[in-house]
């Protein structure tokens, strides 16, 4: 993950661009290092920055899927559609991820703000995937993968909002185990895996 993160300044020096799609790509390069650091600390049984081991374990998943995969795919959608909505998604996904991370150190309300921003970006990715990317995909398999990834985001990000709102306000919220089994698994398989497979097929069909 460190080698991947080191590609970020190299890419920035090469492109000399902070366009929304590039910001999303740079985020995708850097965030796995956060996940890797949390994973090493959790495996060693060391409460990094005072965070309990279960929180570190969740950080590993979040920064692979909410950090790496979501930012990567937001950037791809932005680059493909070239729309204002695409640029919004490419900026709000990295910003929301950063705000959620800041919320770990600041307060639950900051994490809620991050969840709202991240959800707005992810729902925009979902909309653009369904409306703009999916219809032009070659082959029913690719279109099906894109449809699944777009639909899953609607549900999983609602769960994320309900969790963050419960943490910030004290309202009833799902348990961590339930969130991992629903929000986590659905994002990993339904969103990240289906999206990456679909975009790989899109790239191959464009060659």
pLDDT per residue as tens digits for the range 37-74: 778 777 787 777 767 767 777 777 777 777 889 999 99
Q: How many domains does the chain have?
A: 1
Query: Residue 33 and residue 92: Cα distance in Å, rounded?
Result: 20
| CA–CA distance, 8 with 10 (Å, rounded to integer) | 5
Q: How many CB atoms lie within 10 A of CB 139?
A: 12
Q: pTM of the prediction?
A: 0.90
Confidence (pLDDT) at 35: 78
Q: For residues 62 and 56, what is the distance between their CA atoms, to the nearest angstrom?
A: 10
Whole domain around residue 170: which residue ranges? 2-206
Q: What is the pLDDT of residue 36?
A: 77
Residue 47 to residue 55: CA distance in whole angstroms: 9
């Amino acid at each position: 993950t460190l080698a991947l993160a080191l590609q970020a300044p190299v890419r920035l020096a090469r492109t000399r661009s902070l366009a929304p799609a590039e910001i999303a790509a740079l985020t995708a390069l850097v965030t796995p290092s956060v996940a890797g650091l949390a994973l090493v600390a959790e495996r060693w049984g060391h409460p990094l920055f005072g965070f309990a081991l279960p929180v570190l374990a969740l950080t590993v998943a979040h920064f692979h899927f909410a950090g790496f995969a979501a930012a990567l795919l937001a950037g791809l959608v932005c680059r493909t559609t070239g729309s204002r909505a695409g640029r919004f998604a490419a900026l709000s996904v990295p910003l929301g991820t950063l705000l959620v991370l800041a919320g770990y150190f600041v307060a639950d309300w900051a994490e809620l703000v991050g969840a709202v921003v991240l959800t707005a970006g992810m729902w925009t990715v979902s909309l653009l995937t369904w409306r703009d990317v999916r219809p032009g995909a070659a082959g029913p398999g690719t279109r099906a993968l894109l449809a699944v990834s777009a639909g899953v985001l609607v549900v999983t990000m609602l769960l994320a909002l309900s969790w963050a709102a419960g943490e910030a306000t004290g309202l009833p919220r799902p348990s961590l185990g339930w969130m991992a089994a629903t929000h986590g698994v659905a994002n990993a398989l339904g969103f990240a895996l289906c999206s990456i497979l679909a975009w790989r097929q899109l790239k191959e069909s464009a060659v």
